[in-house]
Amino acid sequence: MYAIVPLANEYQVERLLKLGEKVLEETIRRRWEKPNANGEEACKQMYRHIIIADTCNLKGLKKLCVNIAADASSSERERTMADHPIPTDLDIEINKLAVRKHELLAADAAKKP
């Protein structure tokens, strides 16, 4: 799929592009969406997929990858950004989501006796 999706985008084959997006989303959900799958390798994979999604305008794939990338630590995201730079607006979106997730987790923890 990694070779087909950019080609489908380049040649504007919408049906193949959407099929490729669906396959990539399913692959990511199976392998990387689990809580124990987070970490630097998951972050690297998400940034790689974000680049593909952004280039090919695959909104569902991008949203999924941003959500998973936000689960990585800030140091993991910084190291990954150095190797796999993504657009600044997406990096900001990931960081904001990470902060929001942290705030929600802290609020939930504070509610527990």
Residue 95: predicted pLDDT = 97
Share of the chain above pLDDT 70, in %: 96
What are the residues whose beta carbons fall under 8 Å from the beta carbon of 5, sequence distance 6 or more?
17, 20, 21, 24, 52, 56, 58
Q: What is the average pLDDT score of the chain?
A: 92
Task: Give the C-alpha distances (Å, rounded to integers) separating 90 from 4, 8, 11, 76.
Answer: 24, 23, 25, 16
User: CB of 105 within 8 A of CB of 75?
Assistant: no
Whether 106 shows a pLDDT value over 70: the answer reads yes
Residue 37 tokens, joined: 């799958």
The rounded distance, in Å, linking the Cα atoms of 61 and 49 is 8
DSSP letters spanning 79-110? HHHHHS---HHHHHHHHHHHHHHHHHHHHHHH
38 band by pLDDT with thresholds 50, 70 and 90: low
Mean pLDDT of 16-31: 95
113 band by pLDDT with thresholds 50, 70 and 90: confident
pTM for the model stands at: 0.90
Residue 39: predicted pLDDT = 80
Mean pLDDT of 91-101: 97
